[in-house]
């Protein structure tokens, strides 16, 4: 049950030191500083060291607090979605699609709902890519259809059907009022309604604020969080649609 246990590290193993900053809606005075220390104590910081307090506008104070927390982190109890597919080089991805699928693998991408932030989907799809890694358009055996921003869910379903998409990639940046979650559920429901299981494309969503463990709950096949690279997405697509025994999609048709 209990595995390796760690604590935050300031400058000595086990010192448990953390640093936090926050704002309280009170004017800056002695009472405000006391209030900040009270909050720090309730957050489990003991002792808490108020290192900076600064008035901001009327009736707000910003604080920086350093202190020791008593909490322990049980590494054996950490649950994350580990990458469960091999990360392949571009060349091998192309070769696998060509040899095993014997046609191009079609990917339809979009930002859905009111989200106009195409940065994420463009980073994954555009040739330009991100962090020195080329996007999916660069893969010879992938056919990429980027629908761009503010695509309605019915339009996306229709485009996926018309393009005979193997996979649909959706990126969501705006998270106000959980818009990213609502939009994703709406999208997966629409695909379930429009297409029978065997003909449904692989549904992949990505965005900086998603919890990667929520795929089943949102009705999609995979969620990618911040820092995902195009090669990871391409490797996953090949794993799920070509080599793995994950969802078959339309492969082998």
Among 30, 104, 128, 134, the one annotated catalytic: 128
Which of 146/188 has CB closer to other proteins? 146
The binding site for other proteins (CB under 8 A) comprises 21-23, 54, 56-58, 60, 62, 114-119, 122, 126-128, 148-150, 174, 176-177, 179, 208, 226
What is the C-alpha to C-alpha distance for residues 251 and 151, in angstroms, rounded to an integer?
26
Q: Are 125 and 138 in contact (CB under 8 A)?
A: no
Burial category of 164 from C-beta neighbours within 10 Å (exposed 0-12, middle 13-18, buried 19 and up):
middle
> Nearest distance from residue 173's CB to other proteins, in Å?
9
Beta bridge partners of 227: none
**Nearest of 47, 20, 53, 57 to residue 35 by alpha carbon:** 53
Q: In terms of DSSP H, where are the helices of 10-141?
A: 30-42, 90-96, 119-125
Strands 202-206 and 167-171: parallel
> Nearest distance from residue 230's CB to other proteins, in Å?
14
Which of 55/95 has CB closer to other proteins? 55
Residue 128 annotated to the active site:
yes
Which of 106/251 has CB closer to other proteins? 106
Give the residue numbers marked as catalytic: 128
């Amino acid at each position: 049950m209990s595995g390796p246990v760690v604590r935050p590290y300031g400058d000595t193993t086990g010192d448990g030191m953390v640093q936090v900053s926050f704002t309280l809606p009170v004017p800056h005075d002695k009472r405000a500083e006391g209030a900040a220390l009270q909050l720090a104590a309730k957050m489990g910081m003991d002792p808490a060291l108020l290192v900076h307090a600064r008035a901001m506008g009327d009736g707000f104070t910003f604080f920086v607090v350093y202190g020791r927390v008593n909490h322990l982190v049980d590494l054996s109890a950490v649950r994350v979605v580990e990458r469960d597919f091999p990360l392949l080089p571009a060349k091998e991805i192309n070769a696998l699609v060509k040899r095993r699928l014997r046609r191009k693998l079609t990917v339809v991408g979009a930002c859905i709902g009111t989200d106009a932030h195409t940065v994420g989907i463009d980073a994954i799809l555009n040739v330009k890519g991100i962090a020195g890694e080329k996007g999916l358009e660069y893969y010879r055996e992938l056919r990429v259809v980027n629908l761009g921003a503010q695509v309605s869910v019915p339009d996306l379903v229709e485009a996926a059907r018309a393009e005979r998409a193997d996979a649909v990639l959706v990126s969501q940046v705006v998270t106000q009022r959980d818009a990213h979650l609502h939009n994703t559920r709406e999208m997966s429901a629409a695909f379930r309604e429009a297409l029978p299981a065997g003909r449904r494309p692989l549904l992949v969503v990505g965005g900086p604020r998603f919890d990667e463990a929520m795929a089943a709950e949102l009705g999609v096949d995979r969620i990618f969080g911040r820092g995902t690279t195009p090669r990871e997405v391409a490797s996953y697509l090949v794993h799920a649609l070509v080599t793995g025994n994950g969802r078959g999609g339309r492969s082998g048709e």
